[in-house]
């Protein structure tokens, strides 16, 4: 490999990545809902992700796309991110919607605003971005942007596989002792399990317990302790950088939160995403670009993306170094996708 080759490569997960993915997941202190530290489940998730790349798929059917970030200098798997083509289906997608109402009693001149949480069930929902994690040793430069934004380039390359609306469920607030204040005040009262057990069960598709045990009536916020009320819609500190990337990308806050930790749900029409409108394609041209670092992708089902210098010329194409083309498995003249960072 040329010393000028981009060291980090974003690509679909493969069967041979199981050991590296297992090691990476083992470094996540509080776990990742959609990728629990279980080699058998991870192997199953890899098989699901490989099936999702079937060229015959023409519409979203709940497929799971899982990508990894590979350090090409040592072969290590240092990050993951994913796309769920459509949430819901046979097992609904659950969220709490925060609603407010005004109550007034004129004789006593009493007026109060009551906030309450209402359970929503979605059987045919939007596309969800998920499974984002970057090893702490690699959280520098634009590596986080590569891991997060490259999947939007995949979505742009294959729009028929995804819904027109995109959501992101962000991890809610967890205290220094690993406890979710919202779960302790709400979920635990009905499920009688610890937060991580319930969250992982839901993340791997075991959701029957939610419908069976979830309270049928709205939950009034005034009845909750301040420790729980204060974290509704608040993200985990480690998730704040991802939240900022998504807000800059075009996502917006909603009135929905996660039913376990009350983390916020962000939403965006895919055409409103910055990467959707800003990404361009053109023929690849070998050269020595003098331009800045860009996110570059090959736009194929065997998707590859990386960060490298590039120059976009509408009349002639996209100039990149030969080593960049090799890393993307492209030849001169092939279509190349480019995104300004």
Query: How far is it, in rounded angstroms, from Cα 218 to Cα 211?
Result: 14
Nearest of 172, 199, 207 to residue 33 by alpha carbon: 199
Strands (E), 151-271: 165-169, 219-220, 252-257, 264-269
Separation between Cα atoms, residue 257 and residue 263, nearest integer Å: 5
Q: Reply yes or no on whether 236 is catalytic.
A: yes
Q: Is 181 left (phi over 0), alpha (psi -120 to 50) or beta?
A: alpha
Q: Are 285 and 317 spatial neighbours (Cβ–Cβ below 8 Å)?
A: yes
Contact 279, 156 (CB under 8 A): yes
Name the packing angle between helices 143-157 and 240-249 (round to 10°). 40
Specify whether the backbone of 254 is left (phi greater than 0), alpha (psi in -120 to 50) or beta. beta
Would you say 81 and 148 are in contact if contact means Cβ atoms under 8 Å apart? yes
Phi-psi region of 328 (alpha: psi -120 to 50; beta: other; left: phi over 0): alpha
Beta bridge partners of 66: 82
Q: Which of 44, 118, 135, 236 is catalytic?
A: 236
- 131 and 171 in contact (C-beta within 8 Å)? no
DSSP state for residue 167 in the 8-state scheme:
E
**Which residue is associated with the tokens 């190349």?**
336
Beta strands in the chain (DSSP E): 8-12, 64-71, 76-84, 88-105, 110-124, 127-134, 165-169, 219-220, 252-257, 264-269, 280-286, 293-297, 305-309, 311-313, 317-320, 335-340
Task: Tell me the helix, strand and coil percentages in the chain, rounded to 5.
Answer: 30, 35, 35
Catalytic residue annotation: 236
């Amino acid at each position: 490999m040329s010393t000028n080759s981009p060291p980090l490569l974003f690509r679909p997960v493969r069967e041979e990545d199981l050991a590296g993915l297992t090691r990476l997941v083992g470094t996540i202190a509080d776990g990742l809902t959609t990728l629990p530290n279980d080699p058998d489940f991870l192997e199953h998730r890899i098989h699901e992700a490989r099936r999702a790349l079937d060229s015959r798929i023409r519409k979203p059917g709940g497929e799971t796309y899982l990508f990894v970030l590979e350090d090409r200098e040592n072969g290590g798997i240092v990050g993951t991110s994913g796309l769920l083509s459509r949430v819901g289906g046979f097992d609904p997608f659950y969220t709490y919607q925060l609603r407010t109402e005004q109550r007034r009693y004129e004789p006593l001149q009493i007026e109060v605003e009551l906030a309450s949480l209402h359970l929503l069930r979605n059987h045919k929902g939007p596309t969800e971005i998920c499974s984002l994690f970057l090893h702490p040793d690699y959280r520098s430069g634009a590596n986080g942007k590569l891991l997060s934004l490259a999947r939007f380039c995949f979505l742009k390359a294959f729009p028929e596989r995804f819904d027109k609306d995109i959501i992101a469920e962000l991890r809610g607030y967890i205290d220094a002792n690993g406890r979710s204040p919202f779960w302790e005040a709400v979920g635990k009262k009905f499920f009688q399990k610890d937060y991580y057990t319930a969250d992982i069960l839901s993340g791997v598709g075991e959701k029957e317990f939610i419908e069976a045990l979830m309270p049928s009536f709205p939950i009034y916020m005034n009845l909750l302790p301040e420790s729980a009320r204060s974290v509704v819609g608040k993200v985990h500190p480690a998730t704040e950088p991802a939240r900022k990337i998504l807000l800059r990308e075009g996502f917006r806050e909603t009135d929905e939160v996660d039913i376990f930790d009350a983390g916020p749900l962000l939403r965006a029409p895919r055409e409103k995403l910055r990467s959707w409108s800003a990404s361009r394609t053109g023929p690849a041209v070998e050269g020595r670009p003098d331009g800045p670092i860009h996110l570059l992708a090959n736009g194929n089902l065997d998707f590859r993306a990386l960060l490298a210098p590039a120059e976009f010329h509408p009349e002639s194409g996209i100039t990149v170094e030969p080593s960049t083309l090799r890393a993307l498995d492209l030849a001169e003249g092939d279509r190349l996708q480019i995104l300004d960072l």
